[in-house]
A and B are shown apart, each in its own frame.
Chain A
Amino acid sequence: MVATTTAPAQGLDPQALFAIKDLELRARVVVEGLWSGLHRSPYAGFSVEFTEYRQYAPGDDLRFLDWKLLARSDRHYVKKFEDETNVRCLILVDTSRSMLFGSKGWTKADYARTLAATFAYFLGQQRDVVGLALFDSVVHDYLPPRWKPGHFRHMMALLEREPAGRDTKLGDALDEVAKLCPKRSVVLVLSDFLAPVAEWDQALARLAAARHDVRCVQILDPAEINLDFGQAAVWEDMEGGRSVYVDPAQARAGYTTRFNAHQAELKAALEKRGIIRQVAVTDQPLDFVLLELLQANHARRAAVRRRVQL
C-alpha cells in the first residue's frame, strides 16, 4: 500500500525547523502545528483493531452501528475500535553512514531522527506506547514500547546521540527486531532503503508474518533523486568505500534510470508484503510527512473496516 503525497500549500520550512537544535522542541513544534491545523481531525487515532461491542446510545455515530448484528439479532450495537485504546508502536531508525548524507544543510539522519521524535511525541499525546530501536548493521540501541514518566525523554536522549556510522544491514536488523519485540506492534521503519532489495526482503517478510503492522518511510535527499549535486570529481561511497570519477552532468541520466529501477523494485517488494511505503524527501516539511502517515493510516483503517464489514 502506498500513500501518495498531496502536499498542502504551506508547511513548516525544514530549514527553519532544523535551526532548532533541541530535538524534543522540534517535535513539539511539528506536532502542535499539526494539531492546531487539524481542528476536528478526521484522522483521530491510529489504532485500527476492533475490540468490543457496546449498546447503541442516542448520539452515537451511525457509521459505527453494526448493521449485520442488527439484522441477525435486532439489537443496536456499535463497534468499538482500538483508536480509542492504546497502541504499541516501535520506531526503527536507520543510523548507518549513508544516512549522514545531506545536500541541504541537514542530513537524512537529522530528518529521520526528527521524524521519529515527532511521531513519538504525537503518539505520546494519544497515550499510545512507543518504543525505539536504532540500527545500522545491528540494533545498537533498543528501548521497548512502554508508557512511563521519562520514557519520552529517554527516547530523545537516544535519538540525539551521534551515530557511530557503520554500514547498513537492514535484513539483520529487522530479524533482530523481530526477536526483541515479539508482541504485535506497529513497526515504523525510517531508512533510505538504498541497499539492494534482496538483502532485506526476506527479513521484512518475516517481520510482517509475525503480525507486526510494518510501515516504511524512505528518507531521501533531493540530490539522491535527481543527482542535481556535486561536481566532476572522485565520488566516494559513504558505506562501501567505492571511489569512481563522476561528472554529474554526464552521469545523471544513467543514475536516474538505475535509481528509478531500484525504487520500482522496492515498491513492488513492499506492496507484495502489503506494507505501506512512504517517501519523505528531506526538503519536504515534516508536518506534511506526519500528515501523510496519518492519511495512510486512515486509508488502511478504511480498508480494514471494509474487510470487517464484509
Chain B
Amino acid sequence: MSFLSPWFLLGAALIVGPIIAHLIRQATRHRVSFSATRFLSASPPKLDRRNRIQHPWLLLLRCIIVGVLAMGFARPYFKRDLPVLNTPTIPQSVVVVLDESASMQRTGLWDAARKKVYDVADSLGPNDQFALLGVSGGIEHLVTYEQWKQAAPADRLALVRGALADKKPGWGAKNLDAAIETASTEWEQMSENANAVTRKKIVVVSDFTASGRVSGLAGLNWPKGSEVNLETVTPTHAGNAGLQWLGWSESDAGLSVRARIVQSAKSTATSLSVQLKDAETNAPIGDAQKLTIQAGDTQIVSVPVPSEAAKKPLRLDLSGDEENFDNTLWAVHPAPREMTLTYYGGHAANDIKHARFYLEHAVAGWKDPLVKVVASEAASATSTSKPGSEFIVVAGPLDATAMDNVRNKVSAGDFALVLLNDPKMVDTAASIAGETDWSPLQPKQKNAMLGQIDFQHPLFSLFSDPHYSDFTRIQFTQAQSVKLPAKTAAVVVARFDDTSPAVLEVPVGQGRMIVWGGDWSTAVGNWVLSTKFVPWLENLVERAAGGAQRPVIAEMSDTAKLLDGQATKWRPISAAEGTFTETTPTLPGVYQIQQGGSTRWVALQVPAAASNISLMPLETWEKLGVPLHAQAVTSATPIAAPLGEDQTAPKLEARQKLWRWLLLGAALLLALESIYSLALARRTEHNPNEVAA
C-alpha cells in the first residue's frame, strides 16, 4: 500500500493524547457538593494506581480511531489495480493503432513504436485476433485480421514485421479519433468471425502529442469489457522548434515570407537561424537570419524575397534545433491573373460622360485579377489570349468585323457586357446573342429603379444579405429596356420597377453576355457613383476570370483545397519537366500540378500542429469516456519517468478511493466509542466506588 499524502501519517502521533487522558485519574474530574466538609480532611492520592490505564478497551478504540483517521487523510492506494479479465482462457481481439503522423518523424520514435507493435503481436496467443492500423491523416490497414487469421501462428509475428519493415512515418495529421473509431468497427468484424466471446482491446502506439485529434471519440459507444491501452513512445530529444506558415506579406518595401517559429517547452537549442532558398536549386537567397528563442516561446520572422525570386518556388529552412522534420516551409507566390478589359465604343479614357472613364477608375486598384483596360482598336490586333483572360465591354455600335470578333471571343469562353446606351444597341446585343426579335422598350417611369432583383443569381448574389440589398437609391434617368421574344436564352436577372427587363444574362457558346439596360455615366443615373458599383463589377470580372483564385499552399492533410475537385497530375519540382504522375504526393514540397490544360505551382507543408510536441493530458481521454486500462494509464502517461509517477498516483488513488472506506470506518468506530463511553459513564454514575476502585 502506498500513500498519496504520507505526511498525514504523522497525525497518528495524536494517539498519545488518549493514552495520557486515560493515564490521568478521572476521579479528580468529578465534583461532589457536601454540606459538612469542615469535618472532612483531604485524602492523599492513591499512588499505586496512578499509572494504571483506565478503561483499556476504550483507549484501544480511541487509538484505532486516530490511526484510521490519519491513514484516511494520508489517502492510501494500492499500486497495482485489480486485474481486469486477465484470464488466458478468454481470447483477445486486439487492434493496434500505430501513429504515423508527422510528429512521429522525430528521432527514436519510429523504431520504438514498431517495437511496441511487435511486442503486442508477440504476446498474443494462437486464438487471439489482431489487426494493425496506421494513421497519418487517413487510415491505412497495415495488417488485416484476415491476414492474421490466415497466417500460421508461428508466422504471425513475421507478418507484422514484414508490414512495418519498410514503413516510414508519414506527414499527415494525427487523427487518432478516426483511427480508434475504425478500430472499433474492426472489433465488430472480428466478433462476427469469432466463435466465442473475446476480450476487446485497442492498443494505441503514439507519442501522444497535443496535436492529436481525439474529440471525435465523444459519444462513441464502447462495447462492454472493452479497454484501450495507451502505449507511449519517447523520442530521443525532448525539444524541438518548428516552422509554421503565416503567409505572404506585400508592402512598399517588397515581398516577404512570414513564418512563426514555435519553440517547445523542453527545447535546449535556443540559437536558431532561418535561410530562404530556391526550392529548385537549393541555392540560398539572401543572408540567413540569426534568432534566439527561449524554450516555450514563439517568434514571427519576416524574410524578404527579392523581386527576381518572387515568381520562383521557394523554401525557408530552419536550422539549429534538435529535430529536422518540421524545419522546412515550402512557398509558392500566387501570380495574379492578368486580364484585358477590351472597351468597344471609341470613347476617350478621360470622358466622364461615358462608361470607359468609370471602368478605368474602378479597376485601378485590383490585385487579382489584374485588369488592364484597352480600347477595341488596340485589342483586336493582339487578341491571341486564352479564353477567360479577356473581358469585353460593348458601349457602342459594332461593325461587322468587331461583331464577329466579339462573338467569337464570347463563344470561346469570354464574358461580354453590353450597355444599352442607345435603342440601337438592342440589335447589337441580339446579334451577339445570336437571337432575333429583340426590340427596344422604353420604361414607363422617367426615373427608373431596379424593382425586382434575383439575388440568387451570381450577378447579384453578392448583395443577397438584407444589409446590402437596398437598390432603391439607385436611379436611371435614361433607362433602356428590351422586349424579349417568347423563346429566348436570355435570363432576366433584374427588372425595372415597371417589370421591364433591366439586366439580362445570355449564354453564348462557352461564354456569357450580360446586357445592362442603360449607360454607365453620371449623366444618366447614379449607378456608377453607388457603393455597389465597384463590388458588382469586380464580382463580374472575377467570375469572367474563372472565379476566386485557388490557394497554392496547403498542408499535407489538406491537399483537396488545392485541387478544386478536378483531375490533377503532379510533378515534383525535382523531377524532369513534363513528367506528371497521377499519384498524390506523400512528401511535403513544391509540386507543379496540371489541371485541364493549365499548370501551376503549389506547395505542400508539414502540418503546423505537428510542431506542437507538448503532451496530451490524460484527462482528455477520461473526459471522453475512453475505457482506459489502469496499467495502460501507468505506461501511457509519462514521457519522462519521474513525472509519470506523480501523475499516476493521484489517478489510482482517485479510482480506488480507499479514504472513503477509512473515514466510514472511523465514523462507525466513533459511534461505537460514544456508546461505550456513555455506558461507562452511566455505570460510574450508578456505582461511583467502582471508578474509585
Residue numbers of A with Cβ under 8 A of B are 97-101, 108, 192, 194, 221, 224, 229-240, 242, 244-247, 249-251, 254-255, 258-259, 262
User: Do A231 and B30 touch across chains, with their CB atoms under 8 A apart?
Assistant: yes
Contacts of A234 in B (CB 8 A): 28, 30-32
Bound CA–CA A98/B31 (angstroms): 16
From residue A103, how far is it (CB to closest CB) to chain B in Å?
A: 9
Interface flags, B45-88, vs A, CB<8A=1, else 0: 11000000000000000000000000000000000000000000
From residue B224, how far is it (CB to closest CB) to chain A in Å?
A: 67
User: Do B42 and A230 touch across chains, with their CB atoms under 8 A apart?
Assistant: no
Q: Which residue of B lies closest to A252 (CB)?
A: B40
User: Do A231 and B689 touch across chains, with their CB atoms under 8 A apart?
Assistant: yes
User: Which chain B residues in 3-53 approach chain A with CB under 8 Å?
Assistant: 27-46
Contacts of B42 in A (CB 8 A): 244-246
Contacts of B41 in A (CB 8 A): 244, 246, 251, 254-255
Q: Is residue B196 contacting chain A, with contact meaning CB distance below 8 A?
A: no
Query: Which among B30, B31, B40, B692 has the greatest number of chain A C-beta atoms within 10 A?
Result: B40
Contacts of B46 in A (CB 8 A): 232, 247
User: Do B33 and A231 touch across chains, with their CB atoms under 8 A apart?
Assistant: no
Q: Is residue B639 contacting chain A, with contact meaning CB distance below 8 A?
A: no
Contacts of A224 in B (CB 8 A): 35-36
Q: Is residue B225 contacting chain A, with contact meaning CB distance below 8 A?
A: no
Contacts of B36 in A (CB 8 A): 98, 194, 224, 255, 259
From residue B688, how far is it (CB to closest CB) to chain A in Å?
A: 3
User: Which chain B residues in 566-589 approach chain A with CB under 8 Å?
Assistant: none
When A245-B45, A251-B40 are in contact, do A221 and B35 touch as well, CB less than 8 Å?
Answer: yes
User: Do A230 and B37 touch across chains, with their CB atoms under 8 A apart?
Assistant: no
The 21 sampled A-B contact pairs (Cβ below 8 Å) are A99-B35, A100-B35, A224-B36, A231-B32, A231-B688, A232-B46, A234-B28, A235-B40, A238-B33, A239-B35, A244-B37, A244-B41, A245-B28, A245-B43, A245-B45, A246-B41, A246-B43, A249-B689, A251-B40, A255-B39, A262-B39
User: Do B34 and A101 touch across chains, with their CB atoms under 8 A apart?
Assistant: yes
Q: Is residue B398 contacting chain A, with contact meaning CB distance below 8 A?
A: no
Bound CA–CA A259/B36 (angstroms): 9
Q: Is residue B563 contacting chain A, with contact meaning CB distance below 8 A?
A: no
Contacts of B35 in A (CB 8 A): 97-101, 108, 192, 194, 221, 224, 237-239
From residue B422, how far is it (CB to closest CB) to chain A in Å?
A: 127
Q: Which of A235, A247, A254 contacts B34 (CB 8 A)?
A: A235
Bound CA–CA A151/B40 (angstroms): 43
From residue A160, how far is it (CB to closest CB) to chain B in Å?
A: 22
User: Do A231 and B37 touch across chains, with their CB atoms under 8 A apart?
Assistant: no
Contacts of A239 in B (CB 8 A): 35
Contacts of B29 in A (CB 8 A): 233
User: Do B689 and A238 touch across chains, with their CB atoms under 8 A apart?
Assistant: no
- Number of B residues contacting the other chain (C-beta, 8 Å)? 24
When A231-B689, A244-B42 are in contact, do A236 and B28 touch as well, CB less than 8 Å?
Answer: no
User: Do B30 and A237 touch across chains, with their CB atoms under 8 A apart?
Assistant: no
Q: Is residue B540 contacting chain A, with contact meaning CB distance below 8 A?
A: no
User: Do A249 and B692 touch across chains, with their CB atoms under 8 A apart?
Assistant: yes
Q: Is residue B374 contacting chain A, with contact meaning CB distance below 8 A?
A: no
When A235-B32, A238-B35, A249-B692 are in contact, do A244 and B27 touch as well, CB less than 8 Å?
Answer: no
From residue A171, how far is it (CB to closest CB) to chain B in Å?
A: 17
From residue B90, how far is it (CB to closest CB) to chain A in Å?
A: 70
Bound CA–CA A229/B31 (angstroms): 13
Q: Is residue B238 contacting chain A, with contact meaning CB distance below 8 A?
A: no
Contacts of A192 in B (CB 8 A): 35
User: Do A255 and B40 touch across chains, with their CB atoms under 8 A apart?
Assistant: yes
When A231-B692, A232-B692 are in contact, do A258 and B39 touch as well, CB less than 8 Å?
Answer: yes
Q: Which of B38, B45, B691 contacts A231 (CB 8 A)?
A: B691
Q: Which of A231, A240, A250 contacts B27 (CB 8 A)?
A: A231
From residue B25, how far is it (CB to closest CB) to chain A in Å?
A: 8
Q: Which residue of B lies closest to A108 (CB)?
A: B35
Bound CA–CA A8/B282 (angstroms): 136
From residue A240, how far is it (CB to closest CB) to chain B in Å?
A: 7
Contacts of A108 in B (CB 8 A): 35
From residue A93, how far is it (CB to closest CB) to chain B in Å?
A: 16
Q: Which residue of B lies closest to A221 (CB)?
A: B35
Bound CA–CA A236/B44 (angstroms): 16
- Which 8 pairs between the two chains have the least Cβ-Cβ distance? A231-B688, A233-B30, A101-B35, A247-B43, A237-B37, A98-B35, A232-B692, A258-B39
From residue B493, how far is it (CB to closest CB) to chain A in Å?
A: 110
Q: Which residue of A lies closest to B27 (CB)?
A: A232
Q: Which residue of B lies closest to A101 (CB)?
A: B35
Q: With A98-B36, A232-B27, A232-B46 given, can you name 18 additional A-B contacts, CB distance below 8 Å?
A: A97-B35, A99-B35, A224-B36, A230-B32, A231-B32, A232-B691, A233-B27, A233-B29, A234-B30, A235-B34, A237-B34, A244-B41, A246-B41, A246-B43, A247-B692, A249-B692, A251-B41, A254-B40
Bound CA–CA A177/B465 (angstroms): 114
Bound CA–CA A114/B647 (angstroms): 81
User: Do B28 and A233 touch across chains, with their CB atoms under 8 A apart?
Assistant: yes
From residue A193, how far is it (CB to closest CB) to chain B in Å?
A: 11
Contacts of B37 in A (CB 8 A): 235-237, 240, 242, 244, 246
From residue A165, how far is it (CB to closest CB) to chain B in Å?
A: 12
User: Which chain B residues in 652-673 approach chain A with CB under 8 Å?
Assistant: none
Contacts of A98 in B (CB 8 A): 35-36
Bound CA–CA A246/B37 (angstroms): 9
Q: Which residue of B lies closest to A255 (CB)?
A: B39
Q: Which residue of A lies closest to B30 (CB)?
A: A233
Bound CA–CA A274/B27 (angstroms): 46
Q: Which residue of A lies closest to B687 (CB)?
A: A231
User: Do B32 and A233 touch across chains, with their CB atoms under 8 A apart?
Assistant: yes
From residue A85, how far is it (CB to closest CB) to chain B in Å?
A: 40
Contacts of B38 in A (CB 8 A): 194, 237, 240, 242
Bound CA–CA A224/B689 (angstroms): 18
